[in-house]
Amino acid sequence: MSAPADRPVLADRPVLADLAVGQEVARRTITVDRARLVRYAGASGDFNPIHWNERVATSVGLPGVIAHGMWTMGAVAAVVVDWAGDPGAVVDYQTRFTRPVPVPDPGEASVDVVAVVGALDTDARTARIDLTVSVEGARVLGKAHAVVRLG
């Protein structure tokens, strides 16, 4: 069975039998600058000034302008989707926000993502991918994991 034309699938998708608990399957550094935050605000409709106005962000006790939590969550999910080779293979994704992602001006924040196989379910043909997500060594997402169905 082939994938629909609007859903690209990589020929070298991961195979459940080739995975082991503890195996690192992806690693990426994602960068974000303030221009991207403004574009994300427009796309998402989230115009909270803590995501673009330094004065407002610091007045509420933040270290400065911070990335949208949902941007961070989505950017991290893309790491798993790219590894899986099919966005439809990700059947569950959960996380907790533990720290904000400060975005300097000028410059950008670097979000480091490491994806490791946390569990395998041969009956359901799924792998739980545990995600370590940090900025400058501090975790910004906690209990982050995705469940991926593999053929």
| Residue in 130, 150, 145, 132 with CA at minimum distance from that of residue 21 | 130
Q: Assess if residue 9 is contained within a domain.
A: no
Secondary structure letter of residue 10 according to DSSP? -
Domain count, the chain: 1
Provide the residue range defining the domain that includes 50.
19-149
Give the pLDDT band of residue 20 (cuts 50, 70, 90): very high
| pLDDT(47) > 70 | yes
Residue 56 burial (CB count, 10 A): 14
Q: Is residue 96 part of a domain?
A: yes
Query: Is residue 52 domain-resident?
Result: yes
* In-domain check, residue 94: yes
Q: Model confidence over 56-88: pLDDT tens digits? A: 999 999 999 999 999 999 999 999 999 999 999
Q: Per-residue pLDDT tens for 33-44?
A: 999 999 999 999
In a domain, 47, yes or no: yes
Q: Provide the pLDDT confidence category of residue 11 given band limits of 50, 70 and 90.
A: low
pLDDT at position 151: 79
pLDDT bracket for residue 3 (50, 70, 90)? very low
Q: What is the pLDDT of residues 81-135, one digit of tens each?
A: 999 999 999 999 999 999 999 999 999 999 999 999 999 999 999 999 999 999 9
CB 26 within 8 A of CB 113: yes
Instruction: Please report whether residue 8 resides in a domain.
Output: no
Q: How far apart are CA 8 and CA 77, in angstroms?
A: 17
Q: What is the CATH number of the domain that holds 97?
A: 3.10.129.10
The share of the chain scoring above pLDDT 70, in percent, equals: 93
For range 14-35, the mean pLDDT: 97
